[in-house]
Structure 1
Amino acid sequence: MKLNKIHHIAIICSNYERSKKFYVNILGLDIIKEVYRKDRESYKLDLGVSGNYQIELFSFKQSPKRPSYPEARGLRHLAFEVDNIDEGIKELNDKNVLTEDIRIDEITGKRFTFFSDPDDLPIELYEK
């Protein structure tokens, strides 16, 4: 099998409007398509990331909370590459998004930090 690229990442949120505002207005992702699926009472929002990747934001009634801490098996976090982490942190902080202290990847020597989306999904900024 030859895998070409990651096609999309699916995120289920607890409050659709709050998460839509976060991913569009705070992170600056582009809305590709928004659909309300009446039979599922669920929104599906396709978001573009610099024209390369796509995030699918879903809303479902009564979706259970997934624990983030302690770290459990499975997919851990979503990471975005940035050219300048200091600028990214400043932009997030200016929009009242708290970020952790900058850490250094002991293998690559690159700088990174974490912050959370409205449902406490860990998101990483990783400097190019």
Structure 2
Amino acid sequence: MFKRIDHIEIIPTDFERSIRFYTDVLGFTVRQQMTVAAAPLEEIAYLALGDTVLELMRVKDPTLTALEPWGTGYRMMALEVDDMDAALAYLAGKGVTPSWGPVALGPSKRAEIRDCDGFPIELRQW
């Protein structure tokens, strides 16, 4: 019945800046970008990484929501990496430093970074 997570939606404060972060830094590709006439929604960009899709939504006058790291609700998305040390070195070259970790969790490693709006992204090496 249920097959997979189809996509994750993010409403950024700066639509174009977020597209650049996810494509230039994290390697997503723009699958589709379109104008939408459904106020307050103005534009959508579907960004793909492997078989995962991120939907960035440009809305008129987005409001900032408080991010409580241990509050209920959506917490973060996670990206699997081949080599944590290599991924963190690459990100450092792009000006992105871990906000937490890396730490070993048994046979895996985990770290967290933040996107250009401060949204958390987990990095996981299995």
SS at 1:101's partner residue? strand
TM-score by length of 1: 0.88
Residue 112 of structure 1: aligned partner? 110
User: C-alpha separation between the residues in 1 aligned to 2:23 and 2:43?
Assistant: 15
Deviation at 1:88, TM superposition (A): 0.8
Which whole-Å CA distance do the structure 1 matches of 2:69 and 2:5 have between them? Answer: 27
Q: Does 1:62 align with 2:82?
A: no
Q: Which residue of 2 aligns with 1:47?
A: 47
**SS across alignment from 2:101:** coil
Partner of 2:125: 127
Decide whether the 8 Å contact of 2:11 with 2:58 is kept in 1. yes
* Structure 1 residue 98: Cα displacement: 1.4
Q: Tell me, what secondary structure is at the counterpart of 1:13?
A: coil
Q: Which runs of 5+ in 1 are unaligned?
A: none
CA deviations on 1:9-61 (whole Å, 9 max, x unpaired) are 111101011101001111110110011224536220001111x1111011112
1:47 counterpart SS class: strand
Which residue of 2 is the match for residue 98 of structure 1? 97
TM-score of the two chains, using structure 2 as the length reference: 0.90
- Unaligned segments of structure 2, at least 5 residues: none
In 1, Cα distance between equivalents of 2:16 and 2:89: 24
AA at the equivalent of 2:73: G
Alignment partner, residue 75 of structure 1: 74
CA RMSD of aligned residues (A): 1.5
Q: Which residue of 1 aligns with 2:10?
A: 11
Find the residue that maps to 2:16 and give its secondary structure.
helix
Distance (whole Å) between structure 1 residues aligned to residue 56 and residue 71 of structure 2: 22
2: distance between equivalents of 1:86 and 1:61?
A: 39
- Kindly indicate whether the alpha-carbon contact (under 8 Å) linking 2:109 and 2:124 is maintained by their aligned counterparts in 1: yes
Matched-pair identity in %: 27
For the 8 Å contact 2:47–2:53, the answer to whether it is kept is yes
